[in-house]
Amino acid sequence: MASLQRSRVLRCCSCRLFQAHQVKKSVKWTCKACGEKQSFLQAYGEGSGADCRRHVQKLNLLQGQVSELPLRKNRSPQRVAG
């Protein structure tokens, strides 16, 4: 019986993107987006590859929405009641 491949949700210290990587014995990993080599410090989730990919999508979407909040406040015109 084959064992399921486990994955982890990691976050790059350089570009700040979340991504799924297979669990390995080594604590070193390379960011798929920017190529930064780094050590494993914290897992934001662990499970099957499909579960981790869905979690990565949610985390990156939320991160993008939060980073756009200050831009939206600056762009929207202020309406004066009167």
40 in Cβ contact with 22 (< 8 Å): no
pLDDT at 2: 52
Rounded Cα distance between 31 and 13, Å, is: 9
Query: E strand or H helix at 7, and its extent?
Result: strand 6-11
pLDDT at 60: 95
Q: pLDDT (tens digit, 9 = 90+) per residue, 33-60? A: 999 999 999 999 999 999 999 999 999 9
